Structure 1
Amino acid sequence: MRSFNLCLLLGILMLSCTERTNNKNKIPEEVKISQTELLDKIKGGWAGQVIGCTFGGPTEFRFKGSMINDYQPIPWDENRCLWYYQNQPGLYDDVYMDLTFVDVFEKEGLDAPAASHAMAFANAGYPLWHANQAARYNILNGIMPPQSGHWLHNPHSEDIDFQIEADFAGLMAPGMVNSATEVCDKIGHIMNYGDGWYGGVYVAAMYSLAFVSNDINYIVEEALKAIPKESQFYQCIADVIQCHKRFPDDWKQTWFETEKKWSADIGCPKGVFKDYNIDAKINAAYIVIGLLYGEGDYSKTLEISTRCGQDSDCNPASAGGILGTLVGYSNIPEFWKKGIYPVEDIDFEYTTMSLNDVYEIGTRHALQMLKRKGVKIDGDQIVLPVEEIKPVVLEVGFDGHYPIERIRIGKNINSQTPEIEFDFAGNGFTLTGNANSSVGDVVIEMEMSIDDSAPEKILMPTSFTTRKLEIAWKYQLTDRPHKVKIVWKNPTPGQKVRVEDVLVYSSKKIENTWKAE
């Protein structure tokens, strides 16, 4: 830990110096690009995302809290993408989620409100998980953005979701990071808040900068200016950048240092106190490790970002898309690109849009955004401005809430036992579980009371698409003992609610005081 603290101390000084140097020397105040080059980069971004997602597919969540060792083969061949399109199309949730928002912009224009994006997303036919599904439930039950993504309404608000869906925002704002963050503000708060939202802002910023610089180190560091320095997201990525400077030839050392400091999740009910980690900042760290240690080499970048583990399809998808934008479609190595040739005309599942479609649509949206911002377009030549990046506002999720205990319940609420009670001591809780029905999809209605408070209604759909991920949660309580009672109002045979765990929060962080004798 002492080496990491020294690394961080040196890093703060080095990052400041690096920022000044980059602003002065890396790129001019404007960059000229042809429309042909613009299209090539946008194609590279979308194709790179699909390639990376496909490559990481076989290892997704098979390596939790551990890297994927070098001796573990990761398969790739020219039919790999086609196999997933035909057999496991859900792998591409990274992409078809983006396309939902691209489609809304295409139908309603660049001024399409957040509500339009939210409703299109909530009513789409695809399955969702984590912050996305929690937001879908919120929207379908009248909680609209930005509250649908806020941590008080969404226990998954700091998960990876918008981070893996923000590619489109950077691709439609070439060189214009502040414009990309405006799009992120509108759409990212549908499902995320705080560090979860920052993941999308940061990824979009890297895509945007990939149009105006071919220096991946510059892109990684400059994009971080969009994130408030006070946030844990900023601090995590800054640590990775500086440890790369300290250990330039050893990505595994940087991985270890990052794991030691940043791998403890506090929000996601599926990951707290477990090895499963879908927290945005740690997975963003894996993207950055891949980009920095990949050194612009496409194969190394995908290999390293994948071998960091956890959500190992999403991280190379982002890294592959950002690097694909930097080098352009025409310069993605044929070894990788041959995998997408068979699928470029096939619509993604749950959409009416293919890669070839989004190449064209994405370029059109980028040109519309450039014209809206007054960018000079002279025939085939575009003069891209290089904006001074403005950090977004500071958002702190789960402020004053520290997970201290996970209490196992493991019981059913059903027609024989229509209620359950439990006690906890703290300032908040999340109750995990799910609803099931053997007599067709229904919405189970329950009521929850905390201590002597008035009952609150709980609606638990049994449909997988519209399900509520957790039974109940409540934060910002007085930090003391509490009693919770949940009652099923109209119990019916063939239906049940499975109650799993109570995740307990406190206003005081528990320090480990155990010492060996």
Structure 2
Amino acid sequence: MTPVGTELADRILGGWLGRIAGNMLGKPVEQGDHWTRDRIDRYLRQAAALPLTDYLPEPVTADGGPDDGGGEFELRPEWRQCVRGRIHGSCRDDDVDYAILGLDLLETHGFSFSTEQVGDLWLLRLPYLQTFTAERAAYRNLANGLKPPLTATYENPYQEWIGALIRADVYGWTSPGQPRRAASLARRDAVLSHTGNGVYGAMWAAALISAAFTAPTVRQALDTALTVIPASSRLARTVRRVLTLHETRMPWEDTLSTVGEETAGLGWIHTIPNAAVLTAGLLYGDGDFTRTITLTVRGGLDTDSNGATAGSVAGVLCGAEAVPSQWKDPLEDTVRSAVFGFDGVQISELASRTVALAEAET
């Protein structure tokens, strides 16, 4: 088990490193309707990479030779920048862009920011073509002059998808041990583009990260996070289902198969099935950083988003010093970002700016 961190600055840096490393781990197989759990593990077996303890390996053919992808095991086009041995700094990705944008939001407007100010910052800092699903619908609505909450509901079929959840980390990092405050901040951001379980997912994730600063175990952090969303919501019921199956000592694979059947039909980018994969990765990872992010990514669905959030929670729990070197060293303390003014920023700088916000509110 990875040791638990103690210093605020180390834990916040651990959260940033964990988010970026988990995102990079899952990015090559981010296509949940193709990259199922079974296909991911068959890919890893073919590359002799199980158990998974590092970034994904390069594609190999059945006889063990190099492969440029294609067919059943075709990786996303960005794979050459985010597989082991080829990583030199983090790739650009919306899962990291939104953490950066959230930091800029809090630095610019403070913790009393409005939902309208979130939208204004998107238009100022974020390129339209680097938004997807619910965020793109909301961005289009903003550009057409609509105001929240209409930005979330007008011609937006993605209202309960995972986008708001991936924007929540900064609210947890800047509210250490204050899960309700973190959830409230995340909700104010989320309602720009999401409704229902899409908003609850953001509140849950922010509270989970906040709770990880003070909870002695990941299970207790998960229990705390459930207290900020309606107990009758489908998200809460699904998370509780994973907790119950884990308590029965059901194997990880069987837990995901069971919950996968129960959430079938929602799609691979919907908040609820992804929250189940994330919860299972955290529980069965049992506080070990490497096991947590690798199990989460092997769980499939929105692999880079789930890996990023799992890495954020695990990184906060253990702190940056305890994040194994194979995950943090290739990042070279550098982030590529589409957020205007932040491309090439140092991870350590992002973390120190986040610490300043967190300390200003404690």
Is the TM value for this pair above 0.5? yes
1:148/1:190 contact within 8 Å kept: yes
Listed as ranges, the gaps of 5+ residues in structure 1 are 1-32, 266-275, 371-517
Partner SS, residue 284 of structure 1:
helix
2:184 aligned residue: 182
After TM superposition, the score normalised by the length of structure 2 is: 0.82
2:351 aligned residue: 359
**2:261 paired with 1:260:** yes
1:64/1:309 contact within 8 Å kept: no
For residues 422-444 of structure 1, give each alpha carbon's deviation from its aligned partner in whole angstroms, at most 9, with x where no partner exists: xxxxxxxxxxxxxxxxxxxxxxx
Partner SS, residue 235 of structure 1:
helix
Cα distance in 2 between the residues matched to 1:349 and 1:193: 26
1:51 aligned residue: 21
2:100/2:339 contact within 8 Å kept: no
Q: Which segment drifts farther, 310-319 or 349-358?
A: 349-358
Cα distance in 1 between the residues matched to 2:117 and 2:193: 14
1:41/1:327 contact within 8 Å kept: yes
2:199 aligned residue: 197
Cα distance in 2 between the residues matched to 1:208 and 1:287: 16
Instruction: Specify whether residues 64 and 205 from structure 1 end up closer, same or farther in structure 2 by C-alpha distance, changes over 3 A only.
Output: farther
Offset at residue 62 of structure 1 (A): 5.2
2:29/2:35 contact within 8 Å kept: no
Task: Map 1:29-428 to 2 at 5 A.
Answer: 37-61=7-31, 63-64=33-34, 66-68=36-38, 69-73=40-44, 74-75=56-57, 76-77=83-84, 79-80=86-87, 82=89, 85=91, 89=92, 92-123=93-124, 124-125=126-127, 127-150=130-153, 153-248=155-250, 250-265=251-266, 276-340=267-331, 342=332, 344-346=333-335, 348-353=337-342, 354=345, 355-370=347-362
Question: Which structure has more strand as a fraction of its residues?
Answer: 1
2:32/2:268 contact within 8 Å kept: no
For residues 220-248 of structure 1, give each alpha carbon's deviation from its aligned partner in whole angstroms, at most 9, with x where no partner exists: 12211111011111111111111111234
CA-atom RMSD, angstroms?
A: 1.9
Question: Which structure has more helix as a fraction of its residues?
Answer: 2
Instruction: Specify whether residues 347 and 259 from structure 1 end up closer, same or farther in structure 2 by C-alpha distance, changes over 3 A only.
Output: closer
Q: Which amino acid is 2:284 matched to? A: Y
Partner SS, residue 118 of structure 1:
helix
Q: Which amino acid is 1:264 matched to? A: G
Partner SS, residue 338 of structure 1:
helix
Cα distance in 1 between the residues matched to 2:22 and 2:313: 10
After TM superposition, the score normalised by the length of structure 1 is: 0.58
Rg larger for: 1
Cα distance in 2 between the residues matched to 1:338 and 1:98: 20
1:135/1:148 contact within 8 Å kept: yes
Higher relative contact order (CA 8 A, sep 6+): 2
Instruction: Specify whether residues 214 and 164 from structure 1 end up closer, same or farther in structure 2 by C-alpha distance, changes over 3 A only.
Output: same
2:101/2:339 contact within 8 Å kept: no
Cα distance in 1 between the residues matched to 2:88 and 2:302: 18
Q: Which amino acid is 2:43 matched to? A: Q
Q: Which segment drifts farther, 349-358 or 203-212?
A: 349-358
Cα distance in 1 between the residues matched to 2:227 and 2:255: 21
Cα distance in 2 between the residues matched to 1:232 and 1:129: 24
Instruction: Specify whether residues 62 and 147 from structure 1 end up closer, same or farther in structure 2 by C-alpha distance, changes over 3 A only.
Output: closer
1:54/1:81 contact within 8 Å kept: no
Cα distance in 1 between the residues matched to 2:165 and 2:357: 20
Listed as ranges, the gaps of 5+ residues in structure 2 are 45-55, 58-82
1:247/1:253 contact within 8 Å kept: no
Cα distance in 1 between the residues matched to 2:271 and 2:197: 7
Cα distance in 2 between the residues matched to 1:327 and 1:195: 29
Task: Map 1:366-515 to 2 at 5 A.
Answer: 366-370=358-362
Task: Say how many residue pairs are matched.
Answer: 316
1:198/1:233 contact within 8 Å kept: yes
Offset at residue 47 of structure 1 (A): 0.8
2:289/2:323 contact within 8 Å kept: yes
Offset at residue 153 of structure 1 (A): 4.7
Partner SS, residue 282 of structure 2:
helix
Offset at residue 64 of structure 1 (A): 4.2
Q: Which amino acid is 1:178 matched to? A: R
Partner SS, residue 230 of structure 2:
coil
Q: Which amino acid is 1:252 matched to? A: E
Q: Percent of aligned pairs with the same residue?
A: 27
Q: Which amino acid is 1:222 matched to? A: T
Offset at residue 369 of structure 1 (A): 2.1
Offset at residue 165 of structure 1 (A): 1.2
For residues 132-158 of structure 1, give each alpha carbon's deviation from its aligned partner in whole angstroms, at most 9, with x where no partner exists: 0011111111222233123x5522100
Instruction: Specify whether residues 235 and 67 from structure 1 end up closer, same or farther in structure 2 by C-alpha distance, changes over 3 A only.
Output: same
Instruction: Specify whether residues 62 and 182 from structure 1 end up closer, same or farther in structure 2 by C-alpha distance, changes over 3 A only.
Output: closer
